[in-house]
A and B are shown apart, each in its own frame.
Chain A
Amino acid sequence: MSLINLTAYGYAGFFFLAGIAFVVGGLAAAWVLRPSNPNPTKLDNYECGEVPIGSAWVQFHVGYYLIALVFVLFEVEVAFLFPFAGAFRLWADPWGPMAAAGVFIGILALADAWAWRKGALEWL
């Protein structure tokens, strides 16, 4: 990888810090102006006026986990397809690579069809 490329990615990385710096600036400006009078009632969790009962950190539905798993399956598939798409116009004969990609997508489509039938895509 050439130095120019690394510089370009350096800018991208720097912008992660830039976003943080922007929030620091905003919060610093507010820190100068805002009041601070905490009291016990104010620091309660807001549940529309009711006194909160118990902790909010409870067990939640397994459906979120299933969705996350199917998501990983597809996101990895998309990541694998990026080189194929990027190089598509470089091949003299595109039909061979297309067939290969078709087999790849086909296998995953089969997996998806299985998940669909198993009800993993039904929400809750």
Chain B
Amino acid sequence: MTPAPLPLVPPPAFRLGAFLWKLVLTPGAALSGTVAPALRAALGPHLPPAGVEAVLALLCFVAMSGFVTVTALVLTLAERKVAAFFQNRKGPNRVGPWGLLQPIADVVKLLQKEDTVPRAADRPVFLLAPFMAMAATYMVLAVLPFDRGLAVTDLDLGVLYITAVSGLGVLSILMAGWASANKYSLLGGLRSAAQIVSYELSPALVVLSVVLFSGTLSVQGIVERQAAGWNLWAMGPMGVVGMLIYLTAGTAEINRAPFDLPEAESELTAGYHTEYSGMRFSMFQLAEFMNMFVVAALTATLFLGGWQPLGPLAALHIPGYLWFFGKSGAMVFVIMWFRWTFPRVRVDQLMTLEWKILLPLSFLNLIGVALWTALGMK
């Protein structure tokens, strides 16, 4: 008589871990392209098609607003903690454990600030500028691919759309700079506009080379094509050069150090948002933080495979949105790292870098990618 085999019971700690892991996996699986069809099926019999889409759009708006708020809060704390890390100090550590509640305190403070509009200002334009800033940021966020099938919308002209609408942000800066009727604001706004406009060219050319290599303009399509290998190395040496150009020009496009001349506090006070206070000011700040995240996320999407896992690590079944946020977070860290590593450039150096170095380089890079693609097509 053989004894019955003992039932295999994993230790409680392991079971807890497995349960938590399942929780992490579930939203990815549930959201990836299943929520929208399920909702469409559930609402379909009761509402006209336009009504169904309106409900879905509202849900997207609520979800995205939650995402924007949380990301902005995390980034403000991260910015200060990273700065502290590079300067060998502690950073915020009074409000909550490890300063975690600091962003909440900041929001409460900003909500209570008086909202002043200078007497000399061009009032309607002054009041409209923050709306324009957020609207431009939201339009880019609409096509960010968080996971397979998980984006507000997947346009077939996705990257062309991104190139187009990211240019809208400069309007808000010009509006704010002009309408404030402040000399600092005007100079900051104009400098900022010249800088953003210049630094839109080389990222556009790099995006063009990625499109050429991927053979699609859809953002999700570009991520799909990177299943075999991330563009960073799939495009050969041009991938590395392209990513460096994109990250450099992206940092300049969002007016961050070392390219933060429009907000150079020692010469222009606060640049285009000198006259803004309270919530209006924080809307600009929020848009800037989100733009930083967008640049990081697009670098990750175009060159680091977006939500695609890294080669053999696919066996771990880590959900795609964790890959996406991991890569974007790493890029955000690199952008913050720039700030504490490079001294601010002069305005003529800034223009020379774009027009005489990055722009010809990205043209050469585009030609290189075309040759690489043509040779690889056989």
List residues of chain A with CB under 8 Å of any chain B CB.
Answer: 5, 7-12, 14-27, 29-31, 33-38, 40, 42-48, 52, 55-58, 60, 63-64, 67-68, 70-71, 74-75, 78, 81-82, 84-86, 88-90, 94-95, 98, 101-102, 105, 109, 116, 121-124
Contact = CB atoms under 8 A, between A and B. Distances in A.
Nearest to B140: A15
B323 interface: no
B111 A33 contact: yes
A18 B68 CA distance: 12
B80 interface: no
A90 B212 CA distance: 11
Given A37-B114, A86-B216, 5 more contacts: A20-B135, A22-B138, A56-B185, A60-B187, A123-B348
Contacts of A88: 212, 215, 370, 373
Given A30-B115, A30-B278, A15 B139 contact: yes
Interface string B48-78: 0000010001001100110010000000000
Nearest to A67: B194
A82 B208 contact: yes
Contacts of B370: 88, 94, 98, 101
A94 B377 contact: yes
- Main secondary structure, interface of B, reads helix
B197 A67 contact: yes
Contacts of B356: 116, 121
B76 to A, nearest CB: 15
B304 interface: no
A70 to B, nearest CB: 8
Contact of B131 (A20, A43, A56): A20
B377 A22 contact: no
B176 to A, nearest CB: 13
B201 A71 contact: yes
B21 to A, nearest CB: 32
A85 B369 CA distance: 10
Contacts of B112: 30, 33-35
Contacts of A89: 215, 373, 377
B183 interface: yes
Q: In which size bucket is the chain B interface?
A: 35 or more
B118 interface: yes
B363 interface: yes
A102 B185 CA distance: 42
A56 B182 contact: yes
Nearest to B167: A75
B153 A8 contact: yes
A27 B200 contact: no
A23 B142 CA distance: 17
A37 B277 CA distance: 14
B141 to A, nearest CB: 7
B183 A124 contact: no
B35 interface: no
B166 interface: no
B374 interface: yes
A118 B114 CA distance: 50
Query: What 9 A-B pairs are tightest by C-beta distance, nearest first?
Result: A19-B138, A89-B215, A19-B135, A30-B279, A11-B153, A85-B212, A15-B142, A123-B351, A19-B134
A81 B114 contact: no
A9 B194 CA distance: 30
18 contacts: A8-B153, A10-B57, A15-B141, A16-B138, A18-B61, A20-B134, A24-B131, A26-B282, A40-B119, A43-B116, A44-B118, A47-B183, A74-B359, A86-B215, A89-B373, A90-B215, A101-B370, A116-B355
Given A8-B155, A38-B116, A124 B348 contact: yes
B297 interface: no
B299 interface: no
A48 B270 CA distance: 11
B373 A55 contact: no
Contact of B182 (A8, A16, A21, A46): A46
B29 interface: no
Nearest to A27: B279
Given A16-B138, A35-B114, A45 B373 contact: no
